[in-house]
Structure 1
Amino acid sequence: MAGSILRHFVYLVLVLTVSCQADDYTQYVDVFIGTDGGGNDFPGVSRPFGMVKLGPDVLNGKNDAYSGYASTGNFSGFSLMHEQGTGGAPKYGTVTQLPLVGNISDPLSNITVGRNGTDQASVGYYNAWTNESVMIELAGTHRAGMFRYTFPSSDDTKNVLVDASHFLPDFRGSGLAQTYQGGNITVFNDGHYEGNGAYNNGWNRSPDWSIYFCGYFDTTITTNTTYNATDSTGSIAQSSGSAFSNSSETRVGALFSFNSSDVVSRVGISWISTTRACQNLENEIPPNSNFTQLIEETKTEWNNDVLSKIKTSATNTTSLQLLYSSLYFMHLIPTNQTGEQPAWNSTEPYYQDIFTFWDLFRCGTALMHVLQPVAYEEQLRSIIDIWRNEGYLPDARSSNYNGRTQGGSNADNVLADAYVKGVRGQINWHDGFAAMVKDAEVQPNNTDPVDPQAPDSSTKEGRGALPDWLEYGFISPNYTRSVSRAVEYAYNDFSLYQVAKGLGEQSDQYLNRSRNWRNHFNPDATALGFSGFVTARNLSGFQETDVMDSTGYWGDLLYEGSAWAYSFTDIHDAAAMIDLMGGSTAFEERLNKTFEAGANDGSNIFDPTNEPMFAVPYLYNYINRPDLTVLQSRTIAKSNYSTSSSGLPGNSDAGAMQTWLIWNMIGLYPVTGQNTFLIHSPWFDEMVIDLGSGKELNITATGGDNNGDSQYYVQELRVNGQSWNQTWLTWQDVFEDGGSLEFELGDEPQQWAMGPLPPSPASESTGS
């Protein structure tokens, strides 16, 4: 035991030594930020976009652990598959091991072990202790993981349970719980094991899916026993050194026992076969792999491929942790599963674990484009290839299955954003356009599968409420989420218009349809002294809608946002929106009320926990008040984000929250589907963004406090050395070939922007 403690101390010294290197940005990544308080961040081991996300599965009997992790509770296993920042229901928690001490008579009886102390982790490394005095250390690669166990030096038997039937449970009872469908495991003469598990459901309600595994122990096995069990009460059969295989719900697993206190395990996974899982393991963690070297390789990859994309002069540790931790979490998913698509053969890239474009299209995918242009193009090619083979673009996808679509077909927005910013490469844009037209014109199968939370239409993909939209130009309450779907369908149609226009296709009908959100704008709806909001309507006219209610979910009129919030959505038609709301002065007053403390019966109207209000603080730019944009957006960032384990205002949503924060630090905000960026002000004196291909965006700020806490009002701005007087710029100005932004900041607001307002294409009679 003393040797194991010494080994752990030596590792920690190594980590600290590397952390002192100036180019090791991983020292600023706190993998526990946002793991509590509903953030659902994943704190385990992963490479950027890695298929393996190796970490703990914790049960506390009362809350779902969507990423597997919870700060309190017992360990049910340590699994190679998890999601990052997802909500609604758990997903994965598959390919699992659990260290156990002593005589284990019923290994498949949902055994859990208590934890001892607080888990520790850093980029590429996870460490935890059980209350049986077992230390677990985890490291990994893209498609394989490494477990290192240090058991107590007592005479008790040291065991590792491999449970093919393990998955993350769901406590909410929302009809989304995963289930185990069957599996098999075989232990070979050399002690290595292979097998698979089949499962279904989870947050995207996917049907049966299988994952394959191949595992080795680099420690001598004294005994191994395979088990199966019909339920959670215990095993009904066992066999030393053999196999169990079945296609029913019979649980299967294997218990491996050791004399040594130090046990090392290596496991590869695959969506294709056990043979491929063994190949992935051999390619990435072959025999005699060094555990510490794996960690260092993981750190190097994160530093080189992700964290070094943004460099700053900041010295404030809190700001650096927020920046680099946010960069880290936004790159955990989607998963790069290229070559691991089980359903079809393709030479195209394949990414999945998309959660979800509804969360990400507003600012997450735009930032991915800036920081990862190569991976971003691959992701776009992947979703188009999914359309080729399955008929629809995904709005969300996991376990190789589309779903669930919360509102519009928002992959359309993602594709349009890339198109108008000149992304071409190997993307077949005619296919991309055809996929968008399918979303806009063809309702998906309306009853297969039936969603118990929204039985009116399929939530798997596409636009389930399309019949009303096409016939009436609005969506009636015959469809759930009718109001929020309508404003999103309008945004989707504008996106299709942008691509159609660029390709020389018929486009005017989609521009006209993009204005149909106005058909839900009820000028007589009132709240807090303001008139005019998007509300429910049918053929008889507008229906009563609680403008301030933001509690809506799948079966309600508005999804995760109020009518007050959704009235601000369609900024491709911003000028018309402002006119409908009473003009610039009334619009400013309405925005001010949105951020007024306690304005809504003692609570705040602005909701930082959900995406529908992401853009609202920046809309002051449409009336040339960027000073108020800076004030409100900076206040939100500084008061709702922190470096604590509860440091996110809401669910991470696959990094969506983190990307909003990064854009706030940069001093720009993207308008998806246009090449427009709204200007506010940066946090730091200097920031350099690597745009790839030798291009950079250099951002400087003089007069500020280099932490964004004060002196953040823009006094003067130069873009590429030229004086700038408008509240927006374009992709071509500073991103296409690189560029510079030079801010002069100060304590007091200045009216520096008197130039043209940001574009509002759908508000113009001919479009633009």
Structure 2
Amino acid sequence: MAAAATTTGRAALAAPAGPGADLCRHVDPFIGTGGHGHTYPGATRPFGMVQLGPDTDNARWDACSGYHHDDGSILGFSHTHLSGTGVGDLLDVLVVPRTGPVVLEPGSLQKPEGSYRQRFSHADERASPGYYAVAFPDSGIGAELTVTDRVGLHRYRFPGAGHLLVDLAHGSRDEPDAASIGFDPPKPTPVTDAHLRLVGRDMLVGSRRVQQWAGGRVIHFAMRLSRPFAEARFFSSDSEAAAGTAAIDGAALKVALMFPDAGAAPLLAKVALSGVDIEGAIRNLDAEAADWDFERVHREARAAWEAELARMQVEPASADEARIFYTAAYHALLAPTLFSDVDGRYRGMDTAVHQVPAGSHNYSTYSLWDTYRTLHPLLTLVQPQRNADLVRGLARMTLESPHGPPIWPLQGIETHCMIGWHSAVVIAEAAAKGVPGIDYAGVWPRFRKLAFDEDVKGLDPYRRLGFIPSDKVAEAASKTLEYAYDDWAMARLAEAAGAMADAAALRARSRNYRNLFDAGTGFIRPRLADSSWAEPFDPRSLGHDTNHWRDFTECNAWQATFLNQHDVYGLIDLFGGDAAFEAKLDALFAADSTLPVDAPPDVSGLVGQYAHGNEPSHHVAYLYAYCGAPWKTQARVRMLLQGQYRAAPDGLSGNEDCGQMSAWYIMSALGLYPVDPVSGVYVFGSPVHRRATLNVGEGKTLVVEAPGVGPDTVYVQRVTWNGTPWRKSWIDHAELAKGGRLVFQMGNRPNPAFGRDPADRPPSFGAVRPSA
């Protein structure tokens, strides 16, 4: 394997559009692996079950994906990784290629000596869609990785004798307490039970149960070697089992597979996963990786990526623009991840084994608090069949899960992470956009039970008081706002199910956000159970009592004041009209960016108190269109596109969050944004490419053109749709889904008349803005 530099900083080729464009060469999987992006550079396929890649760390927050660009050593290669989350899990079935004596200790970044870690240099590392490679200078081992949907394929070149250590105890683990770092040993991955077994002399199978973020999740694997190992040495809690052991049970299991002839020819290993059982993993292995043709599997993985990337083709002005856009497209197609076997079996949210309907799949890794905002609207537009499959999966989970509508499901386990039940938004968006194959009437009773009957996470006071009191429930202000939006979504679901009375009640309740608006300060504020405002109040603070309470979820009053996505005109009226609302938006972007010392690192990418690095702010720049100033949306969005995304490892201003950060870039670069996904409309922004061609399904093509676009020409002068002048500052999904030609004529000065008339502003709460 020849050494090669990382793609970051490397000169990129031009970006032609059209068939055979080789769009994969513009993808840089290292973007987001530095800073707080939390991405990984491993090999995977679009929405694939296996994410095979290097682990440099498995404890600290900035290594939630298992990899961080600042690290200088690699533990080994595991088969599951999260893309850009703020919580760590997975990193299943670590394979460590080694020479010399068997070493069982993973060591640490600070002290890799004496452990099975190996130093590496980014100059000896390569990554592209469906492929990863690295060379280890100390051992002389070269590693290459590629994948099918459910199988990871390893190819190792050893200088001589070597072995593969399979560490089934490795995985994401909690970060040590700050006071104990450097003193106490690292906390182990909480594996509660595991099993390893040999099948002949060329296969290893196993299972484990992990109590990490997704508490109690179970994963199974089957690993086949390209030639027999000479010896297998099993270890439990680092104590070696008796010679001749062929199977072992425990919590912390490892096995070393010895290959005295490792240097004679490349050694290959293929590892299949299953959430159901070992037999399912073996079937996945046999169905998807029947031979040892590494190059073929790599070609097919790259071809799969090329086909998906080709659904969104742009004509960028520079190599960096090409790299940023196509890497964003790559990141937007990583999750949710496949979680059903080739025979259609999957482990459901009730832990039972189910069978998917013909033509469907089961998925995992729904980061719904993030992805309902832009990723699912993007997929609805350019991946309509895939998104329909994803939504059908959420509907099944709603009925199968003992916890009801999904919040953040991971490998068949509800993590309960973040607030709200935003699966309601994704399913309601599907209803609004006419996504077929979803039984809305069948799923509605479970949502209705949540909406009207259940008393969890502050729902009882939310119903009784119209808000959640901050002296009784943590993060109460944010919960009130997000429950209000979920009410809006569930009202749409009720309509789809024919429950019109329920829909009316939920639409009315979705205006509960008004109960937290303080006209005296002009902010959303936390309230107490006696209805008084919580004191003291600082709009930059996350809570009124920093010793006990956080009133907001990963945001503060500045950001939460604009969290309303569905009743923007109602919010504008609370401020006293368009001018006051526009001034408040201006103040948000102009405010001092200082945050309290207890602010979480998620609140990042600050422009004033707008925080692009976290999701609650993502729609805010587009709100100017609702008060008749879309030219300010155009200026703000272009500024964010240029300032918050770079072609570098630290090129993302916050967590990637399973595609949401990248989906924001893609949609905004196209000049479109779904402020309220349930409404089914897109607000215009400021496109950055001369031309974009989107495959919107069923052979239909949407072309978005921007004559005159450039770094300084950020303002929309006029718009045409299929050659006809278009006065509105928004367009309906149903129009775009038909295919057609949307043209933005760009200029370097604002056109304040475009979109200013109330009749031309985006609809909100189901209606256009009443005439001023």
8 Å CA contact 1:622, 1:758 repeated in 2: yes
Q: Is the 8 A contact 1:177 1:201 kept in 2?
A: no
1:35-74 maps to which residues of 2 (within 5 A)? Answer: 35-59=33-57, 64-71=62-69, 72-74=71-73
1:565 aligned to 2:559? yes
Distance in 2 separating the partners of 1:178 and 1:442: 38
Residue among 465, 475, 483 paired with 2:477: 483
Residue 551 to residue 291, structure 1, CA distance change in 2 (3 Å): farther
> Gaps (5+ residues) in structure 1?
10-15, 447-463
Tell me, yes or no, if the aligned pair for 2:338 and 2:361 is still in contact at 8 Å: yes
Residue 121 of structure 1: aligned partner: 127
User: Equivalent of 1:515, from 492, 500, 511?
Assistant: 511
| Code of the aligned partner of 2:682 | F
SS at match of 1:494: helix
1:695 match: 700
The count of residues paired between Structure 1 and Structure 2 equals 713
Please state how far the C-alpha of 1:61 moved relative to its aligned partner: 7.5
Amino acid at match of 2:293: N
Match of 1:269 in 2: 273
Tell me, in whole angstroms, the C-alpha distance in 2 between the residues paired with 1:322 and 1:733: 28
**Cα deviations across residues 299-347 of structure 1 (Å, max 9, x unaligned)?**
101111x201112222511111111111111111111223342223233
1:546-625 correspondence to structure 2 within 5 Å: 546-549=537-540, 551=542, 556-596=550-590, 598=592, 604-625=608-629
Letter in 2 for 1:647: G
Match status 1:373 vs 2:384: yes
* Deviation beyond 6 Å, 4+ runs, structure 1: 16-21, 107-110, 174-177, 762-766
Q: Which amino acid in the other structure matches residue 219 of structure 2?
A: I
SS at match of 2:449: helix
Larger mean CA deviation between 97-106 and 110-119 belongs to: 110-119
Matches of 1:668 and 1:685 in 2, distance apart?
Answer: 15
Residue matched to 1:726? 728
Change (3 A) 1:184 1:500: closer
- 1:658 to 2:665 alignment: no
Q: 2:148 aligns with which of 141, 149, 158?
A: 141
- Give the Å deviation of 1:18: 14
> Equivalent residue of 1:659, what SS?
helix
Aligned to 2:528: 537
Partner-residue secondary structure (3-state), 2:118: coil
Residue correspondence of structure 1 range 89-168 to structure 2 within 5 A? 90-104=88-102, 106=104, 111-118=115-122, 119-130=125-136, 131-153=138-160, 157-168=161-172
Offset at residue 543 of structure 1 (A): 1.8
Distance 2:699 2:573 in 1: 44
- Return closer, same or farther for 1:711/1:482 CA change in 2, 3 Å cut-off: same
Indicate if the aligned counterparts of 2:339 and 2:411 stay in contact, CA closer than 8 A: no
* 1:169 CA displacement: 2.6
- Determine whether 1:298 maps to 2:268: no
Q: 1:178 to 1:19 in 2, by over 3 A?
A: farther
Q: What is the percent sequence identity of the aligned residues? A: 27
Q: Secondary structure at the match of 1:59?
A: coil
Change beyond 3 A, Cα 1:599–1:30: closer
State the SS of the aligned residue for 2:310: helix
Distance 1:332 1:433 in 2: 29
- Cross-structure match for 2:421: 409
For residues 539-582 of structure 1, what are the alpha-carbon distances to aligned partners after superposition, in whole Å with 9 as ceiling and x for unaligned? 24222253422556995100111112111122321112111112
Q: 1:747 to 1:107 in 2, by over 3 A?
A: closer
Shift of 1:255: 2.8
Is the 8 Å Cα contact of residues 514 and 762 (structure 1) preserved in structure 2? no
Shift of 1:443: 2.7
Aligned position for 2:748: 747
Q: Secondary structure at the match of 2:239?
A: coil
The Cα shift of 1:495 comes to 1.1
Contact 1:701 1:744 in 2 (8 A): yes
Post-superposition Cα deviations, 1:274-313, rounded to whole Å, max 9, x if no partner, equal 22211111111113x3212211111101111x20111222
Are the equivalent residues in 1 in contact too, given 2:542–2:557 (CA < 8 A)?
no
2: distance between equivalents of 1:293 and 1:555?
A: 55
- Residue 687 of structure 2 is aligned to residue 676 of structure 1: no
Q: Partner letter of residue 135 of structure 2?
A: W
Q: Which residue of 1 aligns with 2:111?
A: none
SS at the partner of 1:571? coil
In the aligned structure 2, how far is the partner of 1:86 from the partner of 1:126? 21
Counterpart of 2:354 in 1: which secondary structure?
Answer: coil
Range with bigger deviation, 337-346 or 72-81: 337-346
- Measured on the aligned residues, the alpha-carbon RMSD in Å equals 2.8
Q: CA offsets, 1:420-468, max 9 Å, x none?
A: 1111x21111123223223312336x5xxxxxxxxxxxxxxxxx11111
Quote the offset at 1:22 in angstroms: 4.3
Please give the TM-score of this superposition, normalised by the length of structure 1: 0.88
User: Is the Cα contact below 8 Å between 1:219 and 1:260 reproduced in 2?
Assistant: no
Q: Which range is displaced more, 69-78 or 613-622?
A: 69-78
Q: Any stretches of 5+ residues in structure 2 without a counterpart? A: 6-11, 109-114, 179-185, 596-605
Map of 2:84 onto structure 1: 85
Q: 1:372 offset after TM fit, Å?
A: 1.1
Note the C-alpha offset of 1:129.
Answer: 2.2
Are positions 1:627 and 2:631 aligned together?
Answer: yes
* Higher mean displacement: 158-167 or 340-349: 340-349
Is 1:396 matched with 2:401?
no
1:603–1:314 distance in 2 versus 1, CA, 3 Å: closer
Other structure's SS at 1:725 match? coil
Residues 6-45 of structure 1: per-residue CA shift (max 9 Å, x gap): 9x99xxxxxx999999421101100000111010112100
Code of the residue aligned with 1:294 in structure 2: it is V
| Cα-to-partner distance string for 1:344-371 (whole Å, 9 max, x where unaligned) | 3233445443342111111111111112
Report whether the alignment pairs 1:208 with 2:225: no
Native 8 Å contact 2:106 2:116 kept in 1: no
Compute the displacement of 1:188 (Å). Answer: 3.0
Contact in 2 for aligned 1:176/1:201 (Cα 8 Å): no
The SS at the match of 1:594 is helix
TM-score (normalised: structure 2): 0.87
In structure 2, how many angstroms separate the alpha carbons of the residues matched to 1:567 and 1:534?
Answer: 8
Q: Which moved more, 1:101-110 or 1:623-632?
A: 101-110
Distance change in 2, residues 1:548/1:389 (3 Å)? same
What is the CA distance between 1:501 and its match in structure 2?
Answer: 2.9
Compute the displacement of 1:410 (Å): 1.0
Residue 576 of structure 1 aligns with an amino acid whose one-letter code is G
Report the alpha carbon displacement of residue 731 of structure 1 after superposing the two structures with TM. 1.4
After TM superposition, the structure 1 = structure 2 runs for residues 176-195 of structure 1, keeping only pairs within 5 Å, are 178-195=189-206
The amino acid of 1:520's aligned partner reads: L
One-letter amino acid matched to 2:527: A
Letter in 2 for 1:435: R
**1:194 partner amino acid:** V
Q: 2:243 aligns with which of 239, 244, 264?
A: 239
Equivalent residue number for residue 454 of structure 1: none
CA distance in 2, matches of 1:605, 1:728: 26
> Does 1:637 find its partner at 2:641?
yes
Shift of 1:109: 8.6
In 2, the alpha carbon distance for the partners of 1:440 and 1:115 equals 53
CA change 1:139–1:238 in 2 (3 A) is farther
Q: Is the 8 A contact 1:575 1:763 kept in 2?
A: no
8 Å contact 1:213–1:267 — kept in the other structure? yes
* Inter-partner Cα distance in structure 2 for 1:696 and 1:729: 16
Separation in structure 2 between the aligned mates of residue 28 and residue 160 of structure 1, nearest angstrom: 33
Q: Would the aligned equivalents of 2:154 and 2:270 in 1 still touch at CA under 8 Å?
A: yes
| Aligned-residue offset at 1:103 | 2.1
Shift of 1:377: 0.8
Conservation of the 8 A alpha-carbon contact between 2:58 and 2:171? no
Residue type at the aligned position of 1:127 = A
Deviations 1:164-204 (A, max 9, x none): 222123315599984111222222333222222221222xx
Report the equivalent of 2:465: 472
- CA contact under 8 A between 1:493 and 1:513: conserved in structure 2? yes
Matched with 2:441 is: 430
Change (3 A) 1:307 1:480: same
